[in-house]
Amino acid sequence: MRLSILLLFINWGVGSGEEAGEQGAGSKGEGFIPSAPYSPPLEPLCNASVLCLFPITKFVRNIMKIPPFVLASASPARHRLLQTVGIEPIVRASDFDESQIELSEPAELVKTLAQYKAETVAPQFESALIMGCDSVLFMNGEIYGKPPDTSEAIARWQIMQGNFGDLYTGHALIDTFQNRTIVKSQVTKVYFGQMTDRAIQAYVATGEPLKCAGAFAIEGFGSFFVEKIEGCHTNVIGLSLPLLRHMLEELGYDVTDFWQ
């Protein structure tokens, strides 16, 4: 439907010029009035091959009723990730108290927290897409969020180094325009390298582990200590871009609709 509307506006001038040319080629008879010299129709303002040359982004978004994208998270990493791929979200950090939720299954935990975060922000917007996320590291049967202090961060890395764990991220997408909600989770297996006590202390001293679920950031200093991953890379950052694309499609959108 949205593609048909777009093509209608793109090709608005193609047919009329051809018809004018045909009418000007009539046979000469009694009362014949010579037609004006035929001029080919002007090229449409844009077509599929040069669409990028015409600044119609806002115009198309209005016609297609693409709602604004809202990130219900205070995570700078998630914000930067979306900006990197052309999505400029409205940031509305959720004030939901995560300590209210106690679940032992990591996938259910992150999905529940992500949904509560999105639902907390959703009433602020009449027509928008609200994305809530939450991440945890699951290792040796334990669920790890952000470490509360440096001592805990050091203790965790003494367990994590040379080991592996599963990084779960919950994604909740609320479409307030259609009154629909989709909640999914993604998991990525992360393998950590061997580390000396000195390296652990130096990494924790950067402050980075205290800001991240699992006490590491794969897009920061922590990348030195991640040997490999199995699964989605951006899921480890805190938001799986392929999963986001699938969720948008399920709601009837194309991810390119949101590119700036």
Smallest Cα–Cα separation from 144: which of 227, 201, 229, 135? 135
Distance between CA atoms of 91 and 128, rounded to whole angstroms? 12
CB 115 within 8 A of CB 133: no
Handedness of CA 79, 82, 86, 90 (dihedral sign): negative
Residue for token pair 């000469």: 28
3-state secondary structure of 91: strand
CB neighbour list of residue 11: distance below 8 Å, 6 or more residues apart: 44, 47
**95 labelled catalytic:** no
Percentage helix, strand, coil for the chain under 3-state DSSP, each rounded to 5: 45, 20, 40
Pull the structure tokens for residue 176. 């307030």
Tell me the sheet residues that pair with 132. Answer: 172
Smallest Cα–Cα separation from 188: which of 135, 144, 142? 135
Which residue type does 93 have?
Answer: A
Choosing from 95, 97, 134, 175, which is the catalytic residue?
134
Q: Which residues are catalytic?
A: 134
